[in-house]
Amino acid sequence: MIAELGRFLIALALVASLAQMVLSWIGAQQGGRSPYALAGRTASLAALVTSAAAFALLIAAFIQSDFSIAYVAGHSHVDKPLFYKVTAAWGGHEGSMLLWCLILALFGYAITRAGPAEPAFRARAVSLQALLQSLFFGFLVFASNPFDRLDPAPLQGRDLNPILQDPALAFHPPLLYLGYVGLSAAFAIAAAGLIQKASGREVARALRPWALGAWTSLTAGISLGAWWAYYELGWGGWWFWDPVENASFMPWLLGAALVHSAIATEKRGAFPGWTVFLALLAYVLSILGAFLVRSGVITSVHAFALDPERGVWILAMLGVSAVAGFGVFALRAGHLGEGEGFEPTSREAFIGANNLLLAATAGVVFVGTLYPLFVEMLGGAPVSVGPPYFDAAATPLLVVMLLLVPVAPFLPWANGGARPALRQLRAAFLLLPVAIAGIVLVWFGAPLLAVIGGALGVWAMAGAVMDAVRALPAAQSRALKFAAAGRAMAHAGLGFIALGAAADASRPPDVNSALGRGESIEIAGRTLTLSDVRRADGPNYLADRATITVSGGRAVSPERRYYWAADQHTREVGLGSSIAGDIYVSIGEARPRDDGSVVYEVRAAFHPLVWMLGLGASLIVVGGLLALTAQILIRRVRQAVAP
């Protein structure tokens, strides 16, 4: 019954989205205040309510372990803890696509409430968002229905991939999708602005809060994913330049560029065409991300749901969205207007450089991710493009950007002002050689890029502090204070990430060893002793838990688990965190030695200053939220002033 009702609700949501598209379009043609626009709003509410109800039903089916539904049978198990039954609703392909649709509908309704101020512009944006909704709801209904039945129903489910049964991963997809799909609102508003022949400034003003909110969620989602990879995948990496990570990194980079260029467009009318183009491109790359992850064209450590046929569907949706967006752009970009010129050391020039570097990085990631596929299609000998390529080709661009970041907030608009800005930053400059010397001393033999990255990290942090000290007292309204604080925090966060990454790049080599009870290994000046291994079974797995004592610290207890339902082994890492960094231990299989005693494979690593990465990401997210608050406050004031 739940399944039939769910199917029905999804079909209804598709119909409501189509109605929303047509009605709002007519409403926009009639100036945005017509009854049609109002009816479009109601349709959008209907799409939201039906898709939310369908999602609730899917969760209910998981709680009941209704294995007559293929998706539930494929991703759940009666023995699984309730929390992971609920989160499994978005742990696989069909459920996560339903979540994608739900968020699309949510943003559709949000645009009807808080979209562009001008009524026709808003109705047009609602209509275009409905186009994006219809594409994805159509995909659900015709190719990827989470409520498809399985006949005969199995007695037991296949369980969710055990490494996905994790608190961080439970919240990672919703946040990531809030980001990906949030960019759809920026897309819809940008395309609507083009159709309405709005000026670049109007479009930038309308899409700024949406871009900011989406990009902030994307930051949070990616960070959670990186954190999860760090402690769950069992080898201590946090960024692998893996195709699936790259798929989320491209929209993130473009989103970061958009958030900055929209400021220049709104305030000065600079880069109008570029800002609108970015808004369109960012969402198109989000769909490309979904395509890369879901189609299986590129193999990846994170691809948990693969199906080539679905890939064709997603590719078609990608094509429709791209043709619609860029088609309108080609026809109407002329109406956006042109910016005035500016000096090479003005704020605009630095925002332009920021955009240049971010977009070029996104381009490199794009080329590197798709090149193996491209070569294969042309029939050449296969090529692997792995982390060493991205480290060499993309990281230097980000390093140069870090050099410019602290200066930009001190520059005036339009006119050159390098000299006063650098004078104000003098204290931060003095810190730089100290930082370089410190880093070289602490991590002697660190790679060059790590030393540069670390020094620039200190530079970015110092610049952010000085920016806050100067801009916060000068801000004349609450909104401006929020904006200044947000900027300083996000830029400081960048510095922390640079320092954390530099420290990680110069970490000591891992130690792999087979240890018996009572034996020990050394890493980073600490002695790790395997003192005990005992059984520690959970509700849906069997486990061996080792106790490893660390000299001068708390003991860590890595586990090796066996999930019987999925027939899969996993490693739970033992982490000993301190200010200096993390002791990171994972334990492998047991083996007999020649003398009959049992030894365990132990892999130990030391990750210096890894907490800085988490702190940096958190600062960027909080900074983004503060900037978003500023946008909302400013909007409220504007509405109060408007007649």
Q: Which of residues 431-490 bind other proteins (CB under 8 A)?
A: none
> Radius of gyration (Cα) for the chain, nearest Å?
26
Q: How many angstroms separate the Cα of 264 from the Cα of each of 67, 261, 349, 600?
A: 53, 5, 10, 58
Q: Would you say 35 or 344 has its CB closer to other proteins?
A: 344
- The reply on whether position 412 binds other proteins by CB under 8 A is no
Q: Would you say 17 or 570 has its CB closer to other proteins?
A: 570
Compute the distance between CA of residue 417 and CA of residue 219 in angstroms, rounded to an integer: 32
Please, which of residues 157-216 interact with other proteins by CB under 8 A?
199, 201
Q: Would you say 92 or 236 has its CB closer to other proteins?
A: 236
Residue tagged 């199906």 (tokens)? 307
Q: Would you say 44 or 361 has its CB closer to other proteins?
A: 361
* Interacting span for other proteins (CB under 8 A) from 247-255, 326-334, 359-367, 463-471: 359-367
Type and span of the H or E element at 549: strand 542-550
Residue tagged 């512009």 (tokens)? 121
Min CB(358)–other proteins separation in Å: 10
How does 261-280 read in b/e, with b if 16+ C-beta sit within 10 Å? bbbbbbebbbbbbbbbbbbb
- The answer to whether 335 touches 324, Cβ cutoff 8 Å, is no
Please, which of residues 216-245 interact with other proteins by CB under 8 A?
233-235, 237, 240, 242-243
Please, which of residues 518-537 interact with other proteins by CB under 8 A?
535
- The reply on whether position 630 binds other proteins by CB under 8 A is no
- The reply on whether position 506 binds other proteins by CB under 8 A is no
Residue 238: CB atoms within 10 A of its CB come to: 21
Please, which of residues 243-302 interact with other proteins by CB under 8 A?
243, 269-271, 274, 299-301
The site that binds other proteins (CB under 8 A) totals a number of residues, namely 72
Compute the distance between CA of residue 176 and CA of residue 174 in angstroms, rounded to an integer: 6
Which one of residues 150, 315, 356, 622 is an interface residue with other proteins (CB under 8 A)?
356
Please, which of residues 595-624 interact with other proteins by CB under 8 A?
598
- The reply on whether position 344 binds other proteins by CB under 8 A is yes
Residues with Cβ within 8 Å of 314's Cβ and at least 6 positions away in sequence, in order, are 139, 287, 290, 291, 294, 295
- The answer to whether 102 touches 51, Cβ cutoff 8 Å, is yes
Cis, peptide link before residue 174, omega less than 30° from 0: no
Record the tokens describing residue 159, joined without a space.
Answer: 């369980």
Nearest to 104 by CA among 129, 125, 126: 129
Beta bridge partners of 544: 535, 560
Binding mask 547-566 for other proteins (x = CB under 8 A): -------------x-x----
Which one of residues 15, 26, 399, 514 is an interface residue with other proteins (CB under 8 A)?
514
Q: Would you say 383 or 474 has its CB closer to other proteins?
A: 383
Backbone φ and ψ for 606, nearest 5 degrees, come out as: -120, 125
Which one of residues 193, 339, 500, 581 is an interface residue with other proteins (CB under 8 A)?
339
Please, which of residues 381-400 interact with other proteins by CB under 8 A?
381-389, 392-394, 396-397
Nearest to 405 by CA among 427, 430, 436, 428: 428
Min CB(180)–other proteins separation in Å: 21
Min CB(385)–other proteins separation in Å: 6
Residue tagged 């309704």 (tokens)? 109
Min CB(367)–other proteins separation in Å: 4
Min CB(237)–other proteins separation in Å: 7
Please, which of residues 291-320 interact with other proteins by CB under 8 A?
299-301, 303
What is the signed CA dihedral for 534, 537, 542, 546, rounded to 10 degrees? -30
Q: Would you say 77 or 201 has its CB closer to other proteins?
A: 201
